[in-house]
């Protein structure tokens, strides 16, 4: 996963001040969230209609310039935030809703079920994420939900693996034996004794996967498998800008690129900070 690499890098950068790291990540996210929520007020032009001459370099009226069709890049960037968040949240939610319960159940039951399901999940996990997403997206066709679903499939195994391995440790804790001894049903044991104890790790994967799915979404849009144009979308804008790069029209690539990088960085830093917060001794293990 890409965000893993990023996390390792930024972790080295911040070392002991993980609080600062989480704070910076959080600030970046707040910035983008405000941008997404107040898009209609922030963006100066309609992002899906030409608002000036085409291929205009950054000026005062178009602070990030315009693209080949005369769309205002800044407006598209602002509206694109919504798309990035929407797809990332939906995809991560689908992955969590499927991956967490399956991991809980399979981890708790163990035995042959565990071996079979883990094998299936591992084979999905071993598959290159973007290629799998491309395959599913190509099958389902464009559209917000379809894209979200094809990204979700890639990230279900991440949840499953983490939850399952956590459950299999928690399962042998004495308090789970204690719960059995007082006559708790398996559903009660999973719900009240196992789940709360594996929950902290899910929160961390959740924010980590948000970063990953934004990357994957941008990748899919870049390859033309994302949202149907002219809906504002960073990956699509990036792909379009790439055609004009030889023309020296650098602004078309630069700004969507910066947006993608910073939001992913924001999520990664936030995830790493959360990780430190919830598992204070995890740094020693690594």
Binding residues for other proteins (CB under 8 A): 173-175, 177-185, 188, 192-193, 196-197
For residue 196, the minimal CB distance to other proteins (Å) is 4
For residue 252, the minimal CB distance to other proteins (Å) is 50
For residue 198, the minimal CB distance to other proteins (Å) is 10
Quick one: 50 or 200, whose CB is closer to other proteins? Answer: 200
Quick one: 104 or 214, whose CB is closer to other proteins? Answer: 104
Quick one: 263 or 274, whose CB is closer to other proteins? Answer: 274
For residue 281, the minimal CB distance to other proteins (Å) is 14
For residue 170, the minimal CB distance to other proteins (Å) is 10
Quick one: 186 or 243, whose CB is closer to other proteins? Answer: 186
Quick one: 8 or 180, whose CB is closer to other proteins? Answer: 180
HEC assignment per residue over the chain:
CHHHHHHHHHHHHHCCCHHHHHHHHHHHHHHHHHHHHCHHHHCCCCCCCCCCCCCCCCCCCCCCCECCCCCEHHHHHHHHHHHHHHHHHHHHHHHHHHHHHHHHHHHHHCHHHHHHHHHHHHHHHHCCHHHHHHHHHHHHCCCHHHHHHHHHHHHHHHHHHHHHHHHHHHCCCHHHHHHHHCCCCHHHHHHHHHHHHHHHHHHHHHHHHHHHHHHHHHHHHHCCCCCCCCCCCHHHHHHHHHHCHHHCCCHHHHHHHHHHHHHHHHHHHHHHHHHHHHCCCHHHHC
């Amino acid at each position: 996963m890409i965000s893993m690499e990023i996390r390792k890098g930024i972790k080295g950068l911040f070392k002991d001040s993980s609080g600062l790291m989480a704070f910076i990540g959080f600030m970046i996210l707040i910035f983008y969230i405000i941008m997404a929520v107040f898009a209609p007020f922030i963006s100066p032009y309609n992002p899906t209609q030409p608002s000036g001459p085409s291929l205009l370099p950054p000026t005062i009226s178009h602070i990030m310039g315009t693209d080949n069709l005369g769309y205002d890049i800044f407006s598209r960037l602002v509206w694109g935030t919504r798309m990035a968040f929407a797809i990332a949240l939906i995809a991560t939610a689908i992955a969590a809703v499927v991956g967490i319960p399956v991991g809980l159940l399979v981890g708790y039951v163990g035995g042959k079920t565990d071996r079979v399901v883990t094998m299936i999940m591992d084979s999905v996990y071993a598959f290159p994420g973007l290629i799998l997403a491309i395959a599913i997206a190509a099958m389902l066709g464009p559209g917000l939900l379809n894209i979200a679903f094809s990204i979700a499939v890639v990230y279900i195994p991440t949840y499953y693996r983490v939850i399952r391995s956590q459950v299999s440790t928690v399962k042998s804790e004495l308090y789970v034996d204690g719960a059995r001894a007082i006559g708790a049903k398996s559903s009660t044991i999973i719900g009240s004794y196992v789940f709360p104890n594996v929950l902290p790790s899910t929160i961390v994967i959740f924010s980590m996967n948000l970063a990953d799915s934004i990357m994957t979404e941008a990748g899919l849009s870049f390859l033309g498998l994302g949202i149907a144009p002219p809906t504002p979308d960073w990956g699509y804008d990036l792909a379009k800008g790439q055609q004009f790069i030889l023309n020296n029209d650098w602004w078309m690539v630069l700004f969507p690129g910066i947006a993608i990088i910073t939001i992913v960085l924001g999520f990664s830093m936030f995830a790493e900070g959360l990780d430190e917060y919830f598992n204070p001794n995890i740094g020693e293990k690594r």
